[in-house]
């Protein structure tokens, strides 16, 4: 991967081992990483407000000369107040810094001194003495008349506990000034796609002259990210084309013969998918497909068909699931679907007794025709799957591309990657390179729509009273809180809020809590208790398991719903309405923004995940795109869609050239 700067963070003045550890919490472990840490937003100082015209509560930038600067200590407390008065042609404004602490500690003078010309910015507060900015940020300015440059925007970074904006800004500026940035991208490639050099990109992100500069920097980082991704995809695709796979002839189980034994009739989309999979299995080289479909669209049936074909042709099939709970669910489901053919469906998880695991490993290595369903344990080197003709991956985005490929290469397998977070076909085709994309865009008949409502937070009491009523009727419910990425403190706040909720509104119910700071095994324990009905309400600050099937759950409450993307809300809603009971999705949020209103409208109008994915792509404003990390399967940090589709195309083309060994000429 890219690592033009391997420099150690400890080189930065003021950064010691303890600080480096804190930075690691932000995902920063090198100077390179520091420079890649993108601001969350920028303070726009291009508009300067005259001191006489500031308003209470306004975020303002003021330029003037410091008239007075003094400090005083409050008589009653140890509070020290440092004050300055800033004057411009229109009037005066106060600047105030507070220090709480022992006598003699901390600064005794304001950071500015009389006569200095400065720019100060912050939130204006009206006091009995007039307007002031409390704990303003500021910078010295040259004396008047020496030419006035517009003030550059100030970056605001995602933080973690124990690190301040000021520190992070200083360290990043230091790195920009002192570290050489080598650009891994050839000049030619860069120019072909109109991209900045890496050094220029960092400059434009961390010290833009104007807000308009930022976008070009982001695009450069986005390109690198997409290029790395496409390189992996192209390598995998090339390797596949050169890899033989077992042929599983259609005669052993033609799709109609399979369908005839099922307890329901297939949807047209399922029939199409089966036909495609049938063709794949007749190829002598490793084929691969991405099977996309909403939760409940019947993907497992397609997977079960491929598994049955493999076993009836005398080979093995393996299914990889991200959690044990999902693996067990698949095992039950496969056993039911494959019972007419007497196919053995066995489970392999790391928690099983060593003796049983050894025995199973031996049978697998001996090539016995059976279906094995498991977790990461399947990937371990001592599990040999030489006989596997079909590899299936559930929730494929939870696994890396290399995990995916090495899983299929354990045998001579055709690959079926499944995803319950559909993305638009055009995007999927480009993003997933040479995977064939198969869509299950039709729900099995007889599903009732989930009653979806947007509710103002002031009506929270009614929402939770409703949850209690549903639980009283024997149902279960989910409550989901948004997780705030890259900010420990806010994450912690969500956890506290969730705990608070369990104690207050939901008291008397059996409430389970899942959050991202819990170890995965513990998270799974709680999920299991919910599946088994021991827990009435599952409160979660992480996004709960996509594929988990709890037919008895009838209510999904989403707190802070405006923080979720459309596709994600749809995902959450998919967790309910899987049983015979009427189901509800209650979105708690103050729908003030137009975008939020459009999202809820879209959700009400359709429950087709493909349509929603298209809308999601169109509805997101650039601002909302910043939080993409939370939104579904595309966990890119800098790249955003749809505006980066052209970059994705470019990255794909460059990756192809590189992998095919073609020297770029143009």
| Contact residues for ligand ADP, defined by CB under 6 A | 264, 266-267, 270, 293, 295-301, 420, 444
Binding partner selected for residue 632 from Mg ion, ligand ADP, none, CB under the kind-specific 5 to 8 Å limit: none
Give the ranges where 339-445 is alpha helix by DSSP (H): 354-365, 401-408, 425-431
Give the residue among 187, 183, 191, 194 at the shortest CA–CA distance from 216. Answer: 194
Judged by beta carbon, residue 274 or residue 467, the one nearer Mg ion is 274
State the minimum distance, in angstroms, from the CB of residue 268 to ligand ADP.
10
Q: Is 591 in the site for Mg ion (CB under 5 A)?
A: no
The residue written with tokens 């044990």 in the block is: 324
State the minimum distance, in angstroms, from the CB of residue 341 to ligand ADP.
16
Judged by beta carbon, residue 572 or residue 628, the one nearer ligand ADP is 572
Judged by beta carbon, residue 301 or residue 538, the one nearer ligand ADP is 301
Q: What is the DSSP letter of 367?
A: T
429 token code pair: 């085709």
* Piece in contact with Mg ion (CB under 5 A), picked from 214-222, 368-376, 544-552, 654-662: 544-552
* Piece in contact with Mg ion (CB under 5 A), picked from 75-83, 501-509, 539-547, 634-642: 539-547
Contacts of 585 (CB under 8 A, 6+ apart): 450, 451, 452, 453, 555, 556, 558, 569, 572, 573, 576, 603
Give the residue among 486, 536, 546 at the shortest CA–CA distance from 513. Answer: 536
Residue nearest to Mg ion (CB): 547
Binding partner selected for residue 267 from Mg ion, ligand ADP, none, CB under the kind-specific 5 to 8 Å limit: ligand ADP
* Beta strand pairing call for 371-374 and 436-440: unpaired
Judged by beta carbon, residue 267 or residue 476, the one nearer ligand ADP is 267
State the minimum distance, in angstroms, from the CB of residue 544 to ligand ADP.
14
Contact by Cβ (8 Å): 281, 414: yes
Q: Is 298 in the site for Mg ion (CB under 5 A)?
A: no
Is residue 145 packed enough to be buried (19+ CB in 10 Å), middle (13-18) or exposed (0-12)? exposed
State the minimum distance, in angstroms, from the CB of residue 462 to Mg ion.
33
State the minimum distance, in angstroms, from the CB of residue 346 to ligand ADP.
19
Give the residue among 126, 121, 94, 125 at the shortest CA–CA distance from 110. Answer: 94
* Piece in contact with Mg ion (CB under 5 A), picked from 225-233, 355-363, 540-548, 619-627: 540-548
Contact by Cβ (8 Å): 541, 498: yes
Contact by Cβ (8 Å): 131, 124: yes
Binding partner selected for residue 204 from ligand ADP, Mg ion, none, CB under the kind-specific 5 to 8 Å limit: none
Judged by beta carbon, residue 118 or residue 583, the one nearer ligand ADP is 583
State the minimum distance, in angstroms, from the CB of residue 410 to Mg ion.
23
Judged by beta carbon, residue 441 or residue 491, the one nearer ligand ADP is 441
State the minimum distance, in angstroms, from the CB of residue 571 to Mg ion.
13
Count CB-CB contacts under 10 A for residue 426: 13
597 token code pair: 């209103």
Binding partner selected for residue 110 from Mg ion, ligand ADP, none, CB under the kind-specific 5 to 8 Å limit: none
Size of the site for Mg ion (CB under 5 A): 1
- Exposure letters 448-458 (e unless 16+ CB within 10 A, then b): eebebebbeee
Binding partner selected for residue 287 from ligand ADP, Mg ion, none, CB under the kind-specific 5 to 8 Å limit: none
Q: Is 547 in the site for Mg ion (CB under 5 A)?
A: yes
Judged by beta carbon, residue 298 or residue 433, the one nearer Mg ion is 298
Q: How far is it, in rounded angstroms, from Cα 197 to Cα 182?
A: 9
Binding partner selected for residue 393 from Mg ion, ligand ADP, none, CB under the kind-specific 5 to 8 Å limit: none
State the minimum distance, in angstroms, from the CB of residue 418 to Mg ion.
7
Q: How far is it, in rounded angstroms, from Cα 180 to Cα 169?
A: 18
51 token code pair: 């001191």
State the minimum distance, in angstroms, from the CB of residue 443 to Mg ion.
13
Judged by beta carbon, residue 321 or residue 596, the one nearer ligand ADP is 321
Q: What is the DSSP letter of 597?
A: H
Is residue 146 packed enough to be buried (19+ CB in 10 Å), middle (13-18) or exposed (0-12)? exposed
State the minimum distance, in angstroms, from the CB of residue 263 to ligand ADP.
8
Contact by Cβ (8 Å): 271, 335: no
Binding partner selected for residue 264 from Mg ion, ligand ADP, none, CB under the kind-specific 5 to 8 Å limit: ligand ADP
Binding partner selected for residue 574 from Mg ion, ligand ADP, none, CB under the kind-specific 5 to 8 Å limit: none
Task: Tell me which residues touch Mg ion (CB under 5 A).
Answer: 547
């Amino acid at each position: 991967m890219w690592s033009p700067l391997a420099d150690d963070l400890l080189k930065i003045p003021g950064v010691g081992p303890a600080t480096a550890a804190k930075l690691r919490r932000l995902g920063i472990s090198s100077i390179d990483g520091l420079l890649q840490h993108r601001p969350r937003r920028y303070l726009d100082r291009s508009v300067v407000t005259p001191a006489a015209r500031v308003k209470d509560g306004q975020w303002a930038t003021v330029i003037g000369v410091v008239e007075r600067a003094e400090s005083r200590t409050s008589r009653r407390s140890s509070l020290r107040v440092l004050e300055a008065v800033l004057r411009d042609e229109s009037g005066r404004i106060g600047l105030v810094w507070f220090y709480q602490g022992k006598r003699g500690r901390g600064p005794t003078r304001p950071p500015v001194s009389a006569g200095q010309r400065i720019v100060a910015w912050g939130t204006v507060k009206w006091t009995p003495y007039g307007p002031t900015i409390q704990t303003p940020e500021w910078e010295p300015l040259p004396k008047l008349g020496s030419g006035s440059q517009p003030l550059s925007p100030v970056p605001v970074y995602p933080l973690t506990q124990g690190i301040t904006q000021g520190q992070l800004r200083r360290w990043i500026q230091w790195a920009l000034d002192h570290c050489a940035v080598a650009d891994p991208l050839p000049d030619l490639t860069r120019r072909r796609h109109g991209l900045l050099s890496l050094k220029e990109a960092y400059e434009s992100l961390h010290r833009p002259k104007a807000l308009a500069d930022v976008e070009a920097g982001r695009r450069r980082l986005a390109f690198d990210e997409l290029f790395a991704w496409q390189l992996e995809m192209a390598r995998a695709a090339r390797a596949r084309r050169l890899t033989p796979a077992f042929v599983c002839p259609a005669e052993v189980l033609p799709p109609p013969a399979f369908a005839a034994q099922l307890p329901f009739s297939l949807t047209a989309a399922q029939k199409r998918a089966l036909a495609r999979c049938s063709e794949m299995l007749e190829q002598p080289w490793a084929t691969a497909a991405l099977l996309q479909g909403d939760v409940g669209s019947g993907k497992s049936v397609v997977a079960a068909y491929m598994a049955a074909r493999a076993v009836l042709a005398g080979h093995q099939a393996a299914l990889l699931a991200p959690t044990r709970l999902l693996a067990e669910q698949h095992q039950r489901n496969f056993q039911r679907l494959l019972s007419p053919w007497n196919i053995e469906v066995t489970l392999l998880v790391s928690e099983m007794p060593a003796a049983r695991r050894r025995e199973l490993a031996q049978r697998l290595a001996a090539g016995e025709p059976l279906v094995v369903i498991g977790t990461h344990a399947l990937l371990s080197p001592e599990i040999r799957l030489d006989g596997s003709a079909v590899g299936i991956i559930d929730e494929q985005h939870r696994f890396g591309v290399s995990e995916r490929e090495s899983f299929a290469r354990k045998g001579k397998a055709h690959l079926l990657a499944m995803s319950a977070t559909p993305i638009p076909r055009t995007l999927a085709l480009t993003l997933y390179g040479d995977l064939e994309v198969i869509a299950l865009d039709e729900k099995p008949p007889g599903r009732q729509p989930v009653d979806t409502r947007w509710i103002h937070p002031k009506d929270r009491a009614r929402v939770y009273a409703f949850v209690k009523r549903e639980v009283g009727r024997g149902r279960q419910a989910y409550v989901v809180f948004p997780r705030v990425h890259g900010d420990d403190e806010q994450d912690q706040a969500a956890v506290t809020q969730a705990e608070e909720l369990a104690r207050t509104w939901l008291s008397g119910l059996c409430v389970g809590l899942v959050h991202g700071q819990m170890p995965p095994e513990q998270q799974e324990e709680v999920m299991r208790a919910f599946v088994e009905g021991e827990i009435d309400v599952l409160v979660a600050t992480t996004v709960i398991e996509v594929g988990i099937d709890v037919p008895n759950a009838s209510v999904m409450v989403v707190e802070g719903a405006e923080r979720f993307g459309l596709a994600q809300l749809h995902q959450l809603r998919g967790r309910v309405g899987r049983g015979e009971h009427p189901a509800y999705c209650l979105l708690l949020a103050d729908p003030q923004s137009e975008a939020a209103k459009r999202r809820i409208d879209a959700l009400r109008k359709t429950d087709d995940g493909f349509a929603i994915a298209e809308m999601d792509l169109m509805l997101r404003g650039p601002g909302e795109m910043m939080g993409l990390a939370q939104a579904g399967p595309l966990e890119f940090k800098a790249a955003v869609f749809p505006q980066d589709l052209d970059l994705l195309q470019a990255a794909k083309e460059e990756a192809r050239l590189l992998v095919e060994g073609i020297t770029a000429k143009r």
